[in-house]
Amino acid sequence: MSSRPLPTVATDALRHVLDGRWGAARDAARAEFGGALAGPVYELDREAYRDRVNEQMRMIASSGRVHETSNIAGGTPDVGAGVTLFEMVSHFDLSLTVKAGVQWGLFGGAVQALGTERHHERYMKAILDFDLPGCFAMTETGHGSDVQSLGTTATYDAATGEFVVHTPHEGARKDYIGNAGRDGRMAAVFAQLITEGRSHGVHALLVPIRDEAGNPCKGVTLEDCGPKAGLNGVDNGRITFDQVRVPREALLDRYGSVAADGTYTSPIENQTRRFFTMLGTLIRGRISVAGSAGSATKNALAIAVRYGDVRRQFAKPGADDEVVLLDYLVHQRRLLPALATTYALHFAQGRMVEALHDIATGAVTDDHSQRELEARAAGIKAVATWHATHTIQTCREACGGAGYLAENVLPQLKADTDVFTTFEGDNTVLLQLVAKGLLTDYRDQFGDLDTLGMMRFVAGQVASYVVERTAARSLVERLIAATPGRDDDTDVLDRGWHLKLFEGREQHVLEGLARRLRRATAPGADAFAVFNSAQDHVLRAARVHVDRVVLEAFVAGIDECADPAVAELLERVCDLYVLANIEADRAWFLEHGRMSAARSKAVVAAVNQLCGELRPHAVTLVDGFGIPDEWLGAPIAIGAEARRQRAAQEHDATPATEPVAPA
């Protein structure tokens, strides 16, 4: 293992690399959003907090940045800048991010993607201006993840030319709906569409829920969800419909329409395929959530690393000066691998936003890229949000009691992001969706599982897709080819070895899973029992796939980095990411003969060594994220602790008027 000391890297140079393709959008956000509205707050009561978020919404609407990301003014919408905007806003207020996501991403996105021209003309400007606060009323109390089973009905009444929207029982009420608790005027309601006595599956309709005075519309019962763990600047609520009538035009009819006489037509024949096409609108939301999780993780790491770089505890043996926390191996072990993983996910997120942008703007048009992106969005959302939960928790603990104080922001970061793992698709469900995509390659081996109804379990939310090699394929193949034959002879830092190990793991797990699931095709097999006994393998297959995708994105990102010093630092960060990942999963590599015991111990030792090598660069690495101090907010990270340490040292250095000897 090499140990050449790393060069010093200028923070600006690193930030420039990390800012990537939408660096201008990032700089604009840093420059435009400041003052009283851009920074963490705490202990506002709920109504005041919601008022503040509404003010922030208007600040963003009036900046015009959201309008640029839509096609309202004609021209090509800058979708990448839009997602980047959410990512930047997440550095200073996650309630704002979610409120904006509901208004512009989900509600606006549904009108845009599922509606037709008359809907766009009538509503889009008011939506972008935040003059028409709206809801994305999909989730029900009884059905969060399983959207296909929603209970709300929209029954067409040909006699009056209206749809009757109805909630049949408590479990079918719309629940957890952002903007429904207080501000929303209209909702895109997802309901089972029924006409001429037949059900055509889930469709969306625009239903007014409050009048101009803020009172509930007739037949609509609105309820506030009440306080939550976090995100209390968002007014989540519940909506119950009692035979609410809306005109036929309320149906967002791009993928299914009802004629005046009740005849149903759709450009997509198959009901399941139609359903999943409509759900495609969720992709952008998932990508945004992954980005927000990344931003919150970066804030937490910036706070913990900067504090750990000045905070001292316990004197060295035989010396008076106390040791800086981040000089302890265990402190490095807690923070630096998490920081390295955050870097890896940053590059994976960047690739994903580029893919979304290129598809949304028509630069890339193939169906295959679209399905690859769906898988990527689901998988990275799951991995990034779990990483956020874990890392923010670790950062809180690393800051001790100071990290528990609201003023130091970590409590809010933890509480706000906590729901990310289970909203916009529960992570467990999303990983099953990823696994399903991976399995389509094995379809021949075990027949059409969709027919068996079993794949409903493997993934409830998209029809099917093919997962491919990443764009970095040729680079990856070149690196793998350059690796010597016997693994134990290879340097543990050899990137080709890493890539080969990740690839081999993915292939092995996936093949094993396919073999297990094939049992479901045996005569008389209990398909659910077969699936259920393999469910841990299903999640694992998805997880190791995402790990490979993330590593390849990181490798490709470094390959494209033009600054040699930055690239060298990033290589070392990538080493730590990949070795910490292998270390955490080394039981599997050992069980499957992919590593010897000696090699496994060498990996553990290498993680320790890399922590030591990166420790002097830790502050540079978090400063490279380019989070303004004003957004970061935590006193312990922006001067208070450094000032206290100086004062203590000055006090200790000043001789007392009467010297005190220890007894």
Question: Contacts with a copy of itself in 131-150 (CB under 8 A)?
Answer: 139, 141-146, 149
Interface with a copy of itself (CB under 8 A), residue from 28, 324, 600, 642? 600
- Closest separation between CB of residue 648 and a copy of itself, Å? 4
- Closest separation between CB of residue 291 and a copy of itself, Å? 20
List of residues 6+ apart from 655 with CB closer than 8 A = none
Query: Quick check: helix, strand or coil at residue 264?
Result: strand
Residues 400-419 that bind a copy of itself (CB under 8 A): 400-401, 403-407, 410-411, 414-415, 418-419
Using CB under 8 A, which of the segments 8-16, 495-503, 505-513, 600-608 binds a copy of itself?
Answer: 600-608
Interface with a copy of itself (CB under 8 A), residue from 225, 471, 565, 567? 225
* The two three-digit tokens of residue 41, written as one number: 């707050």
Per rule CB under 8 A, is residue 214 in the interface with a copy of itself? no
* The two three-digit tokens of residue 502, written as one number: 């990740």
Query: Quick check: helix, strand or coil at residue 216?
Result: strand
Residues 256 and 253: their CA atoms lie apart, in Å, by: 5
Using CB under 8 A, which of the segments 191-199, 437-445, 486-494, 560-568 binds a copy of itself?
Answer: 191-199
Identify which of residues 356 and 539 has a Cβ nearer to a copy of itself in the complex.
539
- Closest separation between CB of residue 512 and a copy of itself, Å? 11
Residues 62 and 64: their CA atoms lie apart, in Å, by: 5
Residues 327-366 that bind a copy of itself (CB under 8 A): 327-330, 333
Using CB under 8 A, which of the segments 181-189, 223-231, 243-251, 571-579 binds a copy of itself?
Answer: 223-231
Residues 462-521 that bind a copy of itself (CB under 8 A): none
Interface with a copy of itself (CB under 8 A), residue from 59, 126, 565, 590? 590
Q: How many residues does the chain have?
A: 663
Q: Quickly list DSSP for 459-522.
A: -SS---------TTHHHHHHHHHTS-SSGGGS-TT-HHHHHHHHHHHHHHHHHHHHHHHHGGGS
Using CB under 8 A, which of the segments 43-51, 83-91, 295-303, 358-366 binds a copy of itself?
Answer: 43-51
Identify which of residues 11 and 393 has a Cβ nearer to a copy of itself in the complex.
393
Per rule CB under 8 A, is residue 199 in the interface with a copy of itself? yes
Identify which of residues 119 and 540 has a Cβ nearer to a copy of itself in the complex.
540
Report whether 141 contacts 175 (CB < 8 A). Answer: yes
Residues 514-573 that bind a copy of itself (CB under 8 A): 527-528, 531-533, 535-536, 539
Residues 259-278 that bind a copy of itself (CB under 8 A): 264, 271
Using CB under 8 A, which of the segments 38-46, 63-71, 80-88, 98-106 binds a copy of itself?
Answer: 38-46
Instruction: Report in angstroms the alpha-carbon separations of 231 from 93, 177, 265, 413.
Output: 9, 13, 41, 10
Residues 654 and 663: their CA atoms lie apart, in Å, by: 20
Instruction: Count residues near a copy of itself (CB under 8 A).
Output: 108
| Identity at 195, one-letter amino acid code | T
Identify which of residues 276 and 531 has a Cβ nearer to a copy of itself in the complex.
531
Residues paired with 429 in a beta bridge: none
List of residues 6+ apart from 209 with CB closer than 8 A = 135, 180, 184, 185, 186, 187, 216, 217, 220, 222, 239
Residues paired with 245 in a beta bridge: 164
| Cα 295–chain centre separation | 10
* The two three-digit tokens of residue 197, written as one number: 């006595």
Identify which of residues 25 and 290 has a Cβ nearer to a copy of itself in the complex.
290
Instruction: Report in angstroms the alpha-carbon separations of 310 from 32, 324, 329, 628, 639.
Output: 31, 6, 16, 19, 10
Identify which of residues 120 and 333 has a Cβ nearer to a copy of itself in the complex.
333
- Closest separation between CB of residue 478 and a copy of itself, Å? 31
Identify which of residues 103 and 389 has a Cβ nearer to a copy of itself in the complex.
389
| Cα 579–chain centre separation | 23
Residues 365-384 that bind a copy of itself (CB under 8 A): none
Residues 95 and 231: their CA atoms lie apart, in Å, by: 5
Residues 596 and 586: their CA atoms lie apart, in Å, by: 10
| Identity at 485, one-letter amino acid code | G
| Helices marked H in 237-366 | 271-279, 282-308, 329-360
Residues 85-114 that bind a copy of itself (CB under 8 A): none
Residues 633-662 that bind a copy of itself (CB under 8 A): 643-645, 647-648, 650-651, 658-662
Residues 255 and 437: their CA atoms lie apart, in Å, by: 24
Per rule CB under 8 A, is residue 616 in the interface with a copy of itself? no
Residues 435-464 that bind a copy of itself (CB under 8 A): 452-454, 456-457, 460
Residues 67-86 that bind a copy of itself (CB under 8 A): none
Report whether 449 contacts 443 (CB < 8 A). Answer: yes
- Closest separation between CB of residue 573 and a copy of itself, Å? 20
Identify which of residues 215 and 649 has a Cβ nearer to a copy of itself in the complex.
649
Residues 274-333 that bind a copy of itself (CB under 8 A): 312-318, 322-323, 327-330, 333
- Closest separation between CB of residue 338 and a copy of itself, Å? 15
